[in-house]
Amino acid sequence: MKEFTVERLNQADKGTFVEILGGVYELSPWVAERTWSQQPFTSIDDVQETMESTVRNASREEKLALLRAHPDLGERADMTEASQREQASAGLDQLTQDQYEAFQRLNEAYQDKFEFPFIMAVKDESPGAIREAMEDRLDHSNSEEFQTALDEVNKIAQLRIEKLITP
């Protein structure tokens, strides 16, 4: 993956900025579009915190659309390259048929309850730990899980930013 510096981001026009960071939040380039005007950034953390602030200041409908842009964990369907890599790092691309079916049941129960997919920063997690988190989070209230899912989206974005930007 191509790496960029904070200095290059600060010099980028809006189109280039969105091209570089538009995929940090899954299928939601609007986060990068709105963050661009907050330049200059002083560090990678500043970029991440500013993007997180952009999400925090979005409408509830925009946040819900952001959550719904994420694929189901363990899904064997089309997803972004970043999601494929992250799920593969957790072994979700190598589930047995029984594990796959269990994930599908949990994804369905979660989706039925919260109306968005289960989201977790899964990089280097095990399928067992992810499944346990899914089971535990099914007990959350709707408002608690909405915030937990947004927190996880921000963790995913932070990992992606750290991969894209050279300190």
User: Which residues are marked as active site?
Assistant: 70
Q: Cα(107)–Cα(160) distance, rounded to whole angstroms?
A: 24
Phi, psi of 96 (to 5 degrees): -70, 170
DSSP lists the bridge partners of residue 5 as 166
Q: Cα(81)–Cα(160) distance, rounded to whole angstroms?
A: 11
Q: Cα(54)–Cα(161) distance, rounded to whole angstroms?
A: 15
Q: Cα(143)–Cα(30) distance, rounded to whole angstroms?
A: 24
Cα torsion for 74, 76, 81, 85, to the nearest 10°?
40
CB 25 within 8 Å of CB 153: yes
